[in-house]
Structure 1
Amino acid sequence: MDSEARTFPPHPIRGVRAVYARQSSCPSDFAEVVVDFVPWEAGIVFQVAADLASHGSTDPEELSAYRIALETGIREELAELGVGLPAAVAVVLRSVRVHEVDSRPRAFEAAGHVAVRNALAEVYGPSPRPRRRRA
């Protein structure tokens, strides 16, 4: 049996792309980010890369709101890992793409959830799909 407790991530996971795009009505939602998940001390640290690639027109205040929403989504999703797989991670935001009309904080929060799910799938494989019941 492994004497070390398992934590997430078990190794660096770089270049995790997460897109949240919903176009069901007006307004639509759009967010695209690229983040790294790097093993760190227990807990969650969120950082913005010094060479952040920003695509789309945003003012600094708007970009800050998107970053905060992204961090919130990542923290919420990592909290769902539970006791069996505690987070010990530094999350580094590498790239952000916004749409001048359709980007809003809630889209970036959703992209944070997607980023964690994509990282988990990269390390542990996709989660099993629920089976349909036959009538």
Structure 2
Amino acid sequence: MHACYARQASCPSYYADVLLDFRRFGGWGGGVRVAISQGLVIDSWLDDEELPLEYLTHLAEGVAEELAENHPEYHADTLVVVRAVKLHPTDSNIFAFKGVGRVAVRVAVERLRGEQA
């Protein structure tokens, strides 16, 4: 599924765009974990851009917070598999990835509820 978090009112700005999957994955005692798919695609305005690991930590925090605060019925052992990421050289940051984690949960819950209807 696709999620984007883009905020630009003034400085600083925030941008994170991800393609990911959610999976239930038991066995580690609860919480949210993030995995990088083997064929991870990074789209960036910079040729040598790499995905900073702290972005993934904050993505997991955003997912966990959104699940706990607004969707506790889905909060369990959750694995987030990151398949693709778009980065901006100045606007992609930890705050943007925390925000996109929250947005991703909202999109996933909307999609899940639509399938159950």
Work out whether the TM-score is over 0.5: yes
The residue type paired with residue 13 of structure 2 is S
Q: 1:29 to 1:85 in 2, by over 3 A?
A: closer
Structure of higher RCO (CA pairs closer than 8 Å, 6+ residues apart):
2
| Aligned-pair CA distance for 1:85 | 4.0
In 1, Cα distance between the equivalents of 2:14 and 2:106?
Answer: 19
Tell me what 2:21 maps to: 36
1:51 aligns with 2:39: yes
Equivalent position to 2:77, from 88, 100, 104: 88
In 2, Cα distance between the equivalents of 1:52 and 1:114?
Answer: 20
TM-score, with length taken from structure 2: 0.81
Identity of aligned residues (%): 37
In 1, Cα distance between the equivalents of 2:112 and 2:43?
Answer: 28
Matched-pair contact (CA < 8 Å) for 2:37–2:83: yes
| Aligned-pair CA distance for 1:97 | 0.7
Matched-pair contact (CA < 8 Å) for 2:42–2:50: no
TM-score, with length taken from structure 1: 0.71
1:76 aligns with 2:65: yes
Instruction: Please report the RMSD computed on the Cα atoms of aligned residues, expressed in angstroms.
Output: 1.7
For structure 2, the 5+ residue unaligned runs are: none
Residue correspondence of structure 1 range 1-135 to structure 2 within 5 A: 16-41=1-26, 43=30, 44-56=32-44, 57=46, 58-59=49-50, 63-80=52-69, 81-82=71-72, 84-125=73-114
What is the CA deviation profile of residues 89-109 of structure 1, one whole-angstrom value per residue up to 9, with x for unaligned ones?
321111111100211110110
Greater fraction of residues in helix: 2
For structure 1, the 5+ residue unaligned runs are: 1-15, 126-135
**How many residues are aligned here?**
107
- Structure 1 segments (4+ residues) deviating >6 Å: none
The residue type paired with residue 41 of structure 2 is A
Larger Rg: 1
